[in-house]
Structures are given as C-alpha cells and as structure tokens.
Structure 1
Amino acid sequence: MSSNETAQNASRGGLSAAAGFIAWGIVPIYWKQLHDIAAIELITHRLVWSLVFLVGVLAWQKNLGTLRAGFTSPRVIGLNLISSVLLTVNWLTYVWGVNQGFIIECSLGYFLTPLCNVALGYLILHERPRPLQWAAIGCAAVGVGVLLLKLGHFPWIAIVIAGTWATYGLLKKKSALGPLAGLTAETLLLLPLAVGALLWWHHTGQGALGRVNAWQHTLILSAGWITAIPLLLFAYGAQRVRLTTLGLLQYLAPTVQFLIGLFVYHEAFDTGRLQAFAIIWIGLLLYTADGFWTQRRTFLKTVAGS
C-alpha cells in the first residue's frame, strides 16, 4: 500500500471512529424520548433488537460461523456471560442515570474509564503504572473526593459506569472474538432471560409495546441499530488509526454527553462540580501526555534500532 493510500485509510478510519464516539455522545437525547419507560425494560429491548441487528450484519458478512468461538468451552462461555452481565449493568446504570437527570454524572463515568483501566491493570494484571499515570489516578481520586466533601454526594453512577466498562474491557482482552461477534455472543447468552421478561411484561400489561405512542414504538424498535452502528463505526476506525489517536477520540463521547447535559437539559453544575471535573480533566491531560511521550520514545527507539 502506498503512503498516499495509507494516509487516506487512516483519515477514513479517524472519521469513522470520531463518528462512532459522537454517536455515543448524542445517545442521551434518544433515551430521553423514552424517559417514562422503566430503564430495565429499555435495556431488555436494547438487548433483543440489537441481537437481531447484529446477527443480520454477521449474516450479511457471511461471518456467522465466527460465533462458535464464543461457545467452545465452559470457561469461554463463563467469560462471555460475565462480560454480558457487566455490559448490561453498564447500560442499565447509564440509561437510568440519563432519564433521572444525571447525564453529566454519566459523562464523568466515561471520563474516568481510562484511569480505571490503568488501576485495574495494576491490581489485576500487575502492570506498573508510570509516574504520570499514578498522578492521573491520584487526580481522579481527589476529584471524586471533592464531590463527596463539597456536595455530600458520592458519584456512584459514574463509579459504576467506569468500573463496569473498564472491567468489561479487561475481559475483552481475553476474548478470541472480534467486537461484533463478541457482542453478539454475549447478547445470545442473555436472550432467553430477555425474551422471557418481555413476554411476561406484555402478558401482565406492564410492557411498553402496545401501550405507548407510535413515535416511542419506533424508537424502541430502533434500539438495535442505535446500539450497533456506533460500535461498527468504532471497529472500522480502530483497525485503521493509531492507538494514541483512538485514545484522544474516545473523549469525544463523554464531552458531547457533558455538553448535552449542561446546555440542552440544564443539569446542575455548580462550583463544587466544576472543581471536581477540573481536577479529573487535569488527570486526563496527564494520562494523555504520558501516552504521547511513551509512543514517541518507542518510535525513537525503533528508528535508532533500525
């Protein structure tokens, strides 16, 4: 591949990844249209309809056979089941938080995720964080402490979102499946429970289908592509851009969420919250700078060795 084709490929990948993160960022507007439906039911619909979409995409790609790798042994099935539960808890907490007026705190969860990744790497994988990474983790801890001391409010929504997403990412490192097949396998494992719940709610007259307006029906049935399209955009971009670029682009999603919470839904953001976010953002700057410097040193060593 020529250098011009490589640059074009990277450019398309960057635009695709950015579009995926921006799509994740504006999703709160979608969930807000369904605020009068219980979050647990919304997530159940999301699981069922996203599976329909994902299986359709895999069939179109003629890759349905890749799902077999997710069911080869009890250990693999167990890992996928744990991943699916973590993802469901993440989704449920996020949707509940959005519809209860905590979009800004949800965005905080995704700002904290990279720092949780470093902490989990240290605690579970015994990786040794570099000094700037330790400083970034310290900033996150101080920021959470400021919220607790100044507002008397422990940001449990943000902590659950960051913790479940970071742990989910850790488990995905052990998966032999790609992002699309992996999400499909995880969703399949919870499908019987999801279908059973939807049928029960419909039988008892508590389900949304059949009792909400036409617009909300359309939104509910759109949960599949709302879930999967950003993932596909991200997966396409992740294969074509450098990890450092992807690390920067990931901040688009919580930034857009934060701006929507602040300027569209006018959520509270007083001095205490500003101070806490500022400290956490400083931590993210340190984390990002460390990534750049590490990549630069690796590049220089590679050049010197060649």
Structure 2
Amino acid sequence: MRQGIIYASVAYLAWGLLPLYWKLFQTMGAWEILAHRIVWSIIFVAIIIQVTKRWRSMWKAVTGFKMFGALAMCSLLISANWLIFIWAVNNDQVMQTSLGYYMNPLITVLLGVLFLKEKMHAGQWLALILAAFGVMFITFQYGEIPWVSLSLALTFAFYSLAKKIVRMEAMIGLAWETLFVAPIAFGYLLMLQVNGTETMSSLTWWQLVLLTLAGVATAMPLYWFAQATTRLPLSVVGFIQYLAPTISLLSAVFLFGEPFTQTHLISFGFIWSALIVFTVSSVRMKRRAAPINPEVAIKKQA
C-alpha cells in the first residue's frame, strides 16, 4: 500500500510538473516538440525492451486485427493529446489544461456508459451535471468554448476507452503507440531539416540534453502509474490523480502569471464540487458492492 501510494504520487507529480518542462522549449513549435517527444520516446522504450529482452513479448502482444486497430487509435489519440497539451503550455493556457484533466475522470465515466453499457448511479450523474454547469458558466462568461480543456479531456478519455480493449503492459503499450507515429515524426523532422526551418539548433546545450530526455519524461510516469495500479485500489489512484491538475493550476497562477478571475473560481468551483461528489459516491458504491467474507459474517452473527 505504501509503495503504491509512493508510485502514484510520483507519477502524478511528474505529470503535474510537465508544463514547467515544456516551457523550456517555448521557442519551438508544438509540432516540432511533439515529433521530438515521439522520436525520443521510441528510442528510450526500445532500449528498455532490449535490456529486458522483451521483443518477443511485444510482437506476441498483438493478437488480432481488433487489437491492432485499437492500438492505432490509442496512438492517434495520445499523440493528439500531447500536441494539444504542448501547444497550450507554450501559449499560456496552462489553466485550461488543469481544467481539462479535472474533467477527465467524469468524461471517462460517461464514455463507459455510452460505449461499454456501464451503469451510473445518482452521485455520478449529479457530478456530471455540476461539471457541465462549470463548463457552461465559463463558456457564457467569456463567449467561447474552453476547447483546450474539452479536447484534452475527450482525447484522454477516448484513449482510456481504447486502452480497455488493448489491456497491455504500460511499456509495451507505449512502444506500440509510439511505433505507429514514429515514421511520421521522423519524416517531419527530416522535412524541417531539409527546408532549414528546424529550431532545435537555436537551443542551448542544456536544452538539447533535456529535449533528448523527453522519452524518459514520457515513459517513466507511465511505468510508475502501472506499478501503482497493481498495488492500490482504483479509488485511491483516482483520488491521487487530482494532484496533477492541482499542480498545473498552481503553476499557471503563481509561476506563469495567468489570471485567475472570479469566473475561473466559480467554474472551477463547480468542477471541484463535481469531483468531491463523484469521489465520495464512488467510494460508497464500492463499499456496498464489496463481497462479504463468509467467515466475518459468521463471526458477526455469533
């Protein structure tokens, strides 16, 4: 339990600090940063698989056309999620990324109802209604839909849905997901080099070093998250996940100087209320649904 909490906390702490990492490359375009992230991720994961001698396991993990298609969908969705996140960070929209990842667990549950025929109880419906009010409030106040928040929440929620079909170990799953888009990323970087429009040459030596570590920054939180899920109940992991958007929100306000207005407070207030209702009601439902130990029941009757 203690190890699981440490793994989960470190994973979500790393994800929460990612805006600080991508801000270091603000002079580069989001597409170029994404291409580097994909390339260095596939290189790092390939090294891990080579060291652990898991190539055979990786090739055997894909068992049919359905899984192949789900992996391709995972690849496109997570790449889109990365692109939107990087663009948002480097265009001073970190607060919207925070709002998006606060909304993500609620949208994930809704997709489970729509596509997996899962049932929602009253508390979860109330949470979704509160979250919808939060999004509508900020939309009407500013006159525009918070598309960054909704896009991040939707792409990651659909990614999670596709992952339910795949059910693959984290590192091997990341290898396949990056492998699908790696040729496009390599080709894009080569095109920039040929056209003379790449901006990597303008980076300092320490920025170049950190850019090559983008694969580590991508893969390691996924590994820590996978380790946490094998040791903790999902309700505990679900509670710790709010650490990442909270860190991003604090970074947006206190480090990047993004304005946090009364409109933001009310909108976030609806979202936070939704998450409280969602978490409490989910924990209660799991306790009610927990199987009764016959030995315990006999002792209570005695």
Give the TM-score band, short-chain normalised.
over 0.9
Q: Does 1:59 align with 2:89?
A: no
Q: Does 1:230 align with 2:211?
A: no
Give the alignment's TM-score, normalised by structure 1: 0.93
In structure 2, which of residues 204, 214, 232 is the aligned counterpart of residue 241 of structure 1? 232
Aligned-pair CA distance for 1:291: 1.6
Q: Secondary structure at the match of 1:173?
A: helix
Q: Please show how residues 6-45 of structure 1 align to structure 2 within 5 Å.
A: 10-45=1-36
Instruction: State the match for 1:184 in structure 2.
Output: 175
Aligned partner of 2:244: which letter? Answer: A
Aligned-pair CA distance for 1:89: 0.5
Q: C-alpha distance in 1, partners of 2:131/2:292?
A: 32
Q: Does 1:204 align with 2:218?
A: no
Aligned-pair CA distance for 1:240: 0.8
For residues 145 and 302 of structure 1, do their structure 2 counterparts lie closer, same or farther at Cα, with a shift above 3 Å needed?
farther
Instruction: State the match for 2:288 in structure 1.
Output: 297
In structure 2, which of residues 136, 141, 145 is the aligned counterpart of residue 154 of structure 1? 145
Q: Does 1:167 align with 2:168?
A: no
Q: C-alpha distance in 1, partners of 2:167/2:271?
A: 34
Aligned-pair CA distance for 1:305: 6.4
Instruction: State the match for 1:80 in structure 2.
Output: 71
| 8 Å Cα contact 2:98-2:248 kept in structure 1 | yes
| 8 Å Cα contact 1:66-1:177 kept in structure 2 | no
| 8 Å Cα contact 2:40-2:214 kept in structure 1 | yes
Aligned-pair CA distance for 1:208: 2.8
| 8 Å Cα contact 1:202-1:209 kept in structure 2 | no
Deviations 1:165-202 (A, max 9, x none): 00000010011421211111111111111111111111
| 8 Å Cα contact 2:27-2:199 kept in structure 1 | no
| 8 Å Cα contact 1:70-1:185 kept in structure 2 | no
Instruction: State the match for 1:271 in structure 2.
Output: 262
Q: C-alpha distance in 1, partners of 2:223/2:114?
A: 31
Aligned-pair CA distance for 1:43: 0.6
Instruction: State the match for 2:271 in structure 1.
Output: 280
Deviations 1:222-260 (A, max 9, x none): 111011111111111111111111111111111111111
Instruction: State the match for 2:204 in structure 1.
Output: 213
Q: C-alpha distance in 2, partners of 1:271/1:256?
A: 20
Deviations 1:23-80 (A, max 9, x none): 1101100111111100011011000101111121222222222211454433322211
Q: C-alpha distance in 2, partners of 1:15/1:236?
A: 10
Q: C-alpha distance in 1, partners of 2:57/2:167?
A: 10
| 8 Å Cα contact 2:174-2:219 kept in structure 1 | no
Identity %: 34
| 8 Å Cα contact 2:38-2:178 kept in structure 1 | yes
Q: Secondary structure at the match of 1:210?
A: helix
Aligned partner of 1:173: which letter? Answer: K
- Contiguous gaps of at least 5 residues in structure 2: none
What is the total number of aligned residue pairs between the two structures? 297
Q: C-alpha distance in 1, partners of 2:62/2:289?
A: 38
Instruction: State the match for 1:3 in structure 2.
Output: none
Aligned partner of 1:175: which letter? Answer: V
Q: Secondary structure at the match of 1:174?
A: helix
| 8 Å Cα contact 1:69-1:176 kept in structure 2 | no
| 8 Å Cα contact 1:69-1:177 kept in structure 2 | no
Instruction: State the match for 1:119 in structure 2.
Output: 110
Q: C-alpha distance in 2, partners of 1:186/1:80?
A: 6
Q: C-alpha distance in 2, partners of 1:37/1:156?
A: 22
Q: Secondary structure at the match of 1:266?
A: coil
Q: C-alpha distance in 1, partners of 2:35/2:107?
A: 27
- Contiguous gaps of at least 5 residues in structure 1: 1-9
Instruction: State the match for 2:252 in structure 1.
Output: 261
